[in-house]
Amino acid sequence: MPLSDFHGNPDVVRTAREMLAHDRFPHAVILSGPTGSGKYTLAQMIAKTMNCLERPTSDGLPDFCGRCANCIRIAEADDLEARFAEAVEVRENLRDADKRETRILVQTHPDVTVIPPDPPQMLVKVDQVRHVIHEIYYKPVEGRERVYIFSDADFMKEAANSLLKILEEPPEFATIFLLTDNPSALLPTIRSRCMHLRLSPLSSSEVEQYLEKYRPEWKPRERELVSRVCGGGLGRARTFDLAAYLAARQDALTMLAPALRSGEHSDLFRVTDTYRAGAEGKAKTEQLVRTLYSLLEDMLFLKSGTAELVRNQDIQAELARMAESVDFAWIVAAVQRLGEVESGMRRNLLRSLALDSFATSLER
Ligand SMILES: [Zn+2]
């Protein structure tokens, strides 16, 4: 997908491309916007456009080809979640002494580095910024521009101060992106040294339009459900596994049912029994937990009279019945217990048992 196909926020994208065309792209940019507005996608696209070997144009403005060696290698980091998980796993397998000294970075092209927040605190640490300081002043190796993308610009204090040193004197051939959904959390001294590009959230109807193009096999009702469940996140919406979601939702409803009617457990155990150990079971359980959250949230929306926020609108009548039979405290407690199931999963406790105890604990 070329830069000209970036969905939403056409004015911001045009501004960025005009600056590229005139070789006036700033050295430090805050790219803000809510989750799903495409901050990371846009930063990656600009990094490709800066370094593309073919340098095509579209609509008279710079774009990238998507097939040259630079574009291909930068694109390997498009799936940041996967690259991040790999980097974390590599570190997990190191000896303890090395583990402490290894910071999470994603670098699929020598001139383009993504700096995600470092777990478990999920903050950018000073050693990550030091890595950037260490290499940013060397000229690009295979591209024209060194690009550093802080995918979630949430810094530890010392890291923010180190970053400030770079921003005071950035080299000619480098661009730093700070991606955030909350720009006011950045230090004022950082903000004042960056240009600020703001991406607005996409409306449900914009997401539905987008899905009409990329998932034409879905019915309008299904597109509406997906756009609501994904909260305006295009990448998530396009790759959404609707069948898996609907299956998980059916299971989630079965799990919540005995809590509301009390008594019959055989359905519940039949469902939880299908959530097994292993990688596949883990993904399936995570999906179920996410779906349970979304149903409980919808019940809260219904209870608080904000039905327009309900995401699972296609089963709203059923959710309304469920919401009526419980009170706020019950839903809040259920959300809390679900959090416990999640932390149990991180500690690798047996999944089906955790799910059973979650469901049975909901009974009044
Ligand atoms: Zn290219």
Q: Are 66 and 24 in contact (CB under 8 A)?
A: no
Q: To 10 degrees, the CA torsion angle through 79, 82, 83, 84?
A: 120
Question: How do residues 118-164 score in pLDDT, each as one tens digit?
Answer: 988 899 999 999 999 999 999 999 999 999 999 999 999 999 999 99
Residue 262's pLDDT band, with cuts at 50, 70 and 90, is low
pTM confidence score:
0.75
Q: How far is the CA of 321 from the centre of ligand 1 (A)?
A: 54
Pairing of strands 61-62, 174-180: unpaired
Q: How far apart are CA 121 and CA 159, in angstroms?
A: 13
Q: Are 206 and 8 in contact (CB under 8 A)?
A: yes
Q: How far is the CA of 39 from the centre of ligand 1 (A)?
A: 20
Q: Considering Cα of 3, then 142, then 81, then 12, what sign does the dihedral take? A: negative
Q: How far apart are CA 355 and CA 51, in angstroms?
A: 49
Is the pLDDT at 185 greater than 80? The verdict is yes
Range scoring the smallest mean pLDDT among 27-41, 158-172, 331-345, 350-364 = 350-364
Question: How do residues 13-62 score in pLDDT, each as one tens digit?
Answer: 999 999 999 999 999 999 999 888 899 999 999 999 999 999 999 999 99
- Give the pLDDT score at 16: 97
- Give the pLDDT score at 194: 96
Q: How far is the CA of 53 from the centre of ligand 1 (A)?
A: 5
Q: How far is the CA of 77 from the centre of ligand 1 (A)?
A: 15
Calculate the alpha carbon distances from 80 to 75, 106, 300 in Å.
Answer: 10, 8, 32
Q: How far is the CA of 131 from the centre of ligand 1 (A)?
A: 27
Both tokens of 231, joined, read: 């909260």
Q: How far is the CA of 37 from the centre of ligand 1 (A)?
A: 24
- Mapping DSSP to helix (H, G, I), strand (E, B) and coil, where does residue 183 land? helix
User: How much of the chain, in percent, has pLDDT values that exceed 90?
Assistant: 60
Q: How far is the CA of 201 from the centre of ligand 1 (A)?
A: 28
Is the pLDDT at 259 greater than 80? The verdict is no
Q: For residue 62, list its beta bridge partners.
A: 57
Range scoring the smallest mean pLDDT among 98-112, 207-221, 285-299, 344-358 = 344-358
Q: How far apart are CA 232 and CA 190, in angstroms?
A: 28
Closest CA to 237 of 245, 247, 229: 229
- Give the pLDDT score at 283: 81
DSSP 119: T
**Whats the size of the chain, residue-wise?**
364
Q: How far apart are CA 213 and CA 192, in angstroms?
A: 40
Q: How far is the CA of 51 from the centre of ligand 1 (A)?
A: 7
Q: How far is the CA of 144 from the centre of ligand 1 (A)?
A: 12
Cα angle 232-237-243, degrees, rounded to a multiple of 5? 135
What value does the mean pLDDT of the chain take? 90
Q: Are 81 and 40 in contact (CB under 8 A)?
A: no
Q: How far is the CA of 70 from the centre of ligand 1 (A)?
A: 6
Q: How far is the CA of 4 from the centre of ligand 1 (A)?
A: 14
Backbone angles phi, psi at 278, to 5 degrees: 95, 170
Closest CA to 109 of 39, 162, 51: 51
Residue 349's pLDDT band, with cuts at 50, 70 and 90, is low
Q: How far apart are CA 212 and CA 204, in angstroms?
A: 12
Q: How far is the CA of 237 from the centre of ligand 1 (A)?
A: 26
User: Which long-range CB contacts under 8 A does 209-216 form with residues at least 24 apart?
Assistant: 210/7, 210/234, 210/237, 210/238, 211/237, 211/238, 214/238, 215/240
Q: How far is the CA of 76 from the centre of ligand 1 (A)?
A: 13
Q: Are 297 and 312 in contact (CB under 8 A)?
A: no
Higher pLDDT: 75 or 103? It is: 75
Q: How far is the CA of 68 from the centre of ligand 1 (A)?
A: 4
